[in-house]
A and B are shown apart, each in its own frame.
Chain A
Amino acid sequence: MTAAPNATAIEAHELTRRFGSFTAVDQITFDVAAGEVFGFLGANGAGKTTAIRILTGLLSPSSGTARVAGHDVYTESEAIKRRIGYMSQKFSLYEDLTIRENIRLYGGIYDLSKDELRDRTERMLARLGLEQSAGTQVRSLPLGWRQKLAFSVALLHEPSIVFLDEPTSGVDPITRRQFWELIYEAAARGTTVFVTTHYMDEAEYCDRISIMVAGRIGALGTPAELRQRFGVESMDELFVRLARPTASAAS
């Protein structure tokens, strides 16, 4: 790579998206550093999905600026898509293809050379301990394995940033933790990880988190800073306080 190392993976400044009269994302400003594990939290409907669609180059903002992996979200969305990985909770792999076929498919989508694909496939299978199962249909893999594989496939083209949308939903508690170790390993190799979750203990695993409330960023910082600043014991407590200020006052 000839590009200079970019210390900032994501920069968003007063990023806004309106749908008609509804402002889904309302002037959000934040940076994510390269190699950081950034937790992007918020209640259902707070604007997370809209923000992620903008940052992954799928949706144009109404106003404000954002650069992802050094590329402008207005004019360089195709370049962004090539530089990022994305793993959705619902669908990431083709269930009726085998593990190896899924890897080959994604390698083709991202234009990997034959040699690159072969090397990376073998390395990935070895890292996951799936060498013996490469010919297995994804359908027959347990959910936790499917999610670990989907994460690895999202990293196949060595993106600088990977977006993970509720990657551990419904996964057993041990596999959920193994998944987070894959996240740490990726971050230690320099990949920026942008992750959403409804498990509040996982919020604590992030380097920094932001909590979206009604389209805005209600809190942003390391879990330790936020505990101190808001005088709370846990990210769960903070989340409840921010997401329903009236409810917690009333009950």
Chain B
Amino acid sequence: MTPATFTAVQIEGLSKRFGSTVALENVTLGIATGELFGFIGPDGAGKTTLFRILVTLILPDAGRATVLGRDVTTQIWELRRRVGYMPGRFSLYPDLSVEENLRFFASVFGASVKEQYDLIAPIYDQLAPFKDRRAGALSGGMKQKLALCCALVHRPEILFLDEPTTGVDAVSRREFWELLDRLKASGLTIVVSTPYMDEADRCGRVALIQRGRLLAVDAPARIAASFGRPLFTIRAAERYPLLLAARAYPNAATVFPFGDVLHYTDRRDAMAPEAIARELADHLRGHGLTDVEVESTAPTIEDTFMARMGEPERAA
């Protein structure tokens, strides 16, 4: 895509510090209208800072950004009406009911719930049985759905969702992404952040972000494929001894637990994968892991993230 097609969000050289902490460092990126775009990274990567700049709540130290063609530092009031924002921390009024919260957020933007009902109906219908309940007394999944309704009720042209699925169980997360798919189908541009790497595949394109820097920006499958070296799974019943034995193999480059297997890369770049697998399996059998299986596997986005993030941050 050429920069001109990134009509929804354009970010150029954006930087932000808080004291000695670098929250964002020279971030450049574009998002096209109608995209479902994800920022994937752990806590402290800079996702929230970036979202707060894009929704005009804080100012960058350097660089510029436009959302819907409007500058996020100078065209604040024009933008705020057009942008929907769901912050990471639950920020509705806990003492107001479900229905009161929704009416309040609509009225702030001069909208009425009735006029906008078609947009929020698929979500609000699930909340309707609890419409008189205090928002503070809702379950986590329900709070999240109400927050999404409140972010949508003024019919924004672009939606920013900051970690909407953090701390939410795997099933509720899945349901939330299905809602986002439906909203995307209505033409809305959606920008979402998440620390869960497995959610990247739900997005059309993603940016991997770590310590204020973008590690990659592309379609999830292309980022996974960019891993660029042979990757193996190792499986054995005795998992912890397997991990220690694989780490002790002199040719091991990386060894990480991945679900019920280990992911392994080898230092010998020029060697055929079949030969690596065979030698590694022999080595592990020699350590008493007689049931070991080594196979080539396709990298996931988490493999790429780990390969590109470098060493985890030092303690001090």
Contact = CB atoms under 8 A, between A and B. Distances in A.
Interface of A: 42-45, 89, 128-130, 132-133, 136, 140-145, 166, 169-175, 177-178, 180-181, 184, 187-188, 198-201, 204-205, 223-224, 234-236, 239-240, 243-244, 247, 251
Given A171-B43, A173-B42, A247-B175, A184 B240 contact: yes
Interface stretch (B51-59, B152-160, B251-259, B272-280): B251-259
A174 B166 contact: no
Contacts of B210: 172
A89 B176 CA distance: 23
22 contacts: A43-B171, A128-B315, A142-B315, A144-B312, A145-B315, A166-B167, A170-B166, A170-B195, A171-B43, A171-B195, A172-B309, A174-B306, A178-B312, A198-B167, A198-B168, A198-B169, A200-B170, A204-B259, A234-B259, A236-B198, A239-B171, A251-B178
A188 B139 contact: no
Interface in B174-200: 174-175, 178, 195-198
Contact of A175 (B197, B243, B312): B312
A187 B237 CA distance: 16
A170 B89 CA distance: 13
Contact of B312 (A166, A172, A235): A172
B140 interface: yes
B87 interface: no
Given A136-B315, A243-B171, 7 more contacts: A43-B169, A43-B172, A132-B316, A143-B44, A170-B166, A175-B312, A243-B169
B167 to A, nearest CB: 6
Residue picked from B166, B168, B260, B305, most chain A C-beta under 10 Å: B260
Interface of B: 41-45, 139-141, 166-175, 178, 195-198, 210, 237, 239-240, 243, 256-260, 302, 305-306, 309, 312-313, 315-316
A188 to B, nearest CB: 7
A240 B305 CA distance: 26
Contacts of B239: 205
B43 A240 contact: no
A141 B170 contact: no
A209 B18 CA distance: 42
Contact of A169 (B45, B167, B259, B312): B167
B240 A188 contact: yes
Contacts of B302: 173
B125 to A, nearest CB: 15
B315 A130 contact: yes
A143 B42 contact: yes
Nearest to B171: A243
A142 B243 CA distance: 26
Contact of A174 (B171, B195, B237, B309): B309
Contacts of A201: 198, 258-259
Contacts of A129: 315
B141 A44 contact: yes
B35 to A, nearest CB: 24
B315 A141 contact: yes
A198 B260 contact: no
Nearest to A135: B316
Nearest to A149: B315
Contacts of A240: 170-171, 174
A168 to B, nearest CB: 10
Contacts of A43: 169, 171-172
Nearest to A46: B169
Contacts of B43: 143, 170-171
B214 to A, nearest CB: 15
A30 B88 CA distance: 36
A173 B210 CA distance: 11
Contact of A45 (B45, B139, B237, B313): B139
3 nearest interchain CB pairs?
A170-B43, A172-B42, A133-B316
A247 B175 CA distance: 9
B220 to A, nearest CB: 15
B172 A44 contact: yes
A166 to B, nearest CB: 7
A128 B259 CA distance: 24
A130 B316 CA distance: 9
Contact of B44 (A89, A142, A166): A142
Contacts of A188: 240
A45 B142 CA distance: 11
A239 B316 CA distance: 39
B210 to A, nearest CB: 7
A101 B22 CA distance: 27
Contacts of A171: 42-43, 195
Contacts of B139: 44-45
B305 A173 contact: yes
B238 to A, nearest CB: 11
B38 to A, nearest CB: 15
B127 to A, nearest CB: 15
Given A44-B140, A175-B312, A204-B260, A247 B171 contact: yes
B306 A244 contact: no
Given A43-B171, A205-B257, A239-B170, A199 B44 contact: no
